[in-house]
Chain A
Amino acid sequence: MSPILGILASSNYQRVTSSYYSIATTTLGTATASVTFSSIPATYTHLQIRALTSNASYASTSASLYLNSDTTAANYRNHYLYGSGSAAGSSTDGNSAANGVMGSGMSTGPAAWVIDLLDYQNTNKYKTIRLLNGYDTNGAGYVWFGSNLWMNTNAVSSFTITAPVGTFAINSSFALYGIKGA
């Protein structure tokens, strides 16, 4: 096999049945403080949210994640590990919603997010989230990953990501996916 194959994606394109489904997408036409996916179908085992965001006004603020519109801080826990480019750190906000960095301008350094919400329909256990997130602006930025807990056994039917300060910028996009179990 040639070392540089130059594979033509179109010629190698395969349609296969997967267990990964696109549920809904939101791309912001105006700056918005909060985005919610509601009425999430109960037909999947896990959820994944993939996003590209920035804050319209502030360079490195964080966004918070809430489930089922529950904004009671005491119902959440989080721990996270981050790199600022000069130092690695780890922290917790104690009883607080999951969070991550929002990014610094859609055209200069948007933040990418991959958020996994596991077993979201299970009514026998608290819900756990893991996230990988970060942005880089060629001179600043953070890479971030966290573990998060919602101390509630209810099935999750809505997911909200909120900018506590400022707003998500125009063209920030949020996509919700469902992953089926066997």
Chain B
Amino acid sequence: MAAGSTYTPIATQTLGSAAASVTFSSISGSYTDLVLILNASGSTGINVLMQFNGDTGTNYSSTTLGGSGTTAYSARFSNQTSIEINYEGYLDSGFNTNSIINIQNYSNSTTYKTTLDRFNNAGLGVDAVVGLWRNTAPITSVVLKTHTGTFATGSTFSLYGIAAA
């Protein structure tokens, strides 16, 4: 079996001022999967949305599993203009939110793109979300944005690439 070191940092952004969105663009197609890690803050109740390649059409959907501390739930969002990567684990004013987002086989041109993420806020709730972008194009850019308000100064977003043998 061949073996090669991977899980390579591609880019990191730390917000120097509040921002409504963060973009990673011109992403190399030389990996198999992308992993996007965020530790963010914002006004309480903010959802985080994800789009690819500048597509703002209703080509996204997701299935969500989460817990609020009292209730477990599942929800589905079809024909959306973005993947909603959280539901109960909202942003809040502390840096209590973290998420690891997996974007599988992002550079192939034969399948729709499936994402898997965990989104956590110990004070509010936890989520597991599977998302779909109904497009076979390789992903070259990723946008994370708030559904309202902004990410706070100091929020961090790191993108990694994993290359299969």
List the interface of chain A (C-beta within 8 A of B).
1-10, 12-18, 20-25, 39-41, 50-52, 81-88, 90, 103, 106-112, 114, 132-139, 141-145, 171, 173, 175, 177-178
Contact = CB atoms under 8 A, between A and B. Distances in A.
Contacts of A5: 13, 22-23
A138 B78 contact: yes
Given A6-B25, A132-B128, A173-B105, A106 B6 contact: no
Contacts of B64: 83, 85, 143
Interface string B17-33: 11111111111100011
B79 A138 contact: yes
Interface in B14-64: 14-28, 32-33, 61-64
A145 B74 CA distance: 13
B164 A9 contact: no
15 contacts: A5-B23, A7-B11, A9-B25, A13-B28, A23-B3, A40-B1, A52-B111, A82-B74, A83-B65, A84-B74, A88-B65, A139-B61, A143-B65, A143-B130, A175-B165
B114 to A, nearest CB: 4
A22 B116 contact: no
Contact of A112 (B25, B130, B164): B130
Contact of B114 (A7, A111, A144): A111
Nearest to A41: B1
B132 interface: yes
B164 to A, nearest CB: 4
| Leading 10 A-B pairs by shortest Cβ distance | A3-B19, A83-B74, A83-B65, A134-B130, A85-B76, A1-B16, A20-B7, A175-B164, A138-B61, A88-B72
Given A15-B8, A88-B72, A143 B63 contact: yes
Given A50-B104, A133-B116, A173-B105, A3 B21 contact: yes
Nearest to B25: A6
A87 B65 CA distance: 8
Nearest to A26: B164
Nearest to A106: B111
Contact of B112 (A4, A23, A82, A109): A109
B137 interface: no
Interface in B67-99: 67, 72-76, 78-79
B3 A88 contact: no
Contact of A22 (B2, B22, B108, B134): B2
Interface string B117-147: 0100000000011111010100000000000
B28 to A, nearest CB: 5
Given A4-B21, A134-B63, A145 B128 contact: yes
A179 B22 CA distance: 30
B116 A134 contact: yes
A37 to B, nearest CB: 8
Contacts of B74: 82-88, 143
Contacts of B1: 23-24, 39-41
Contacts of A15: 8
A158 to B, nearest CB: 12
B133 to A, nearest CB: 10
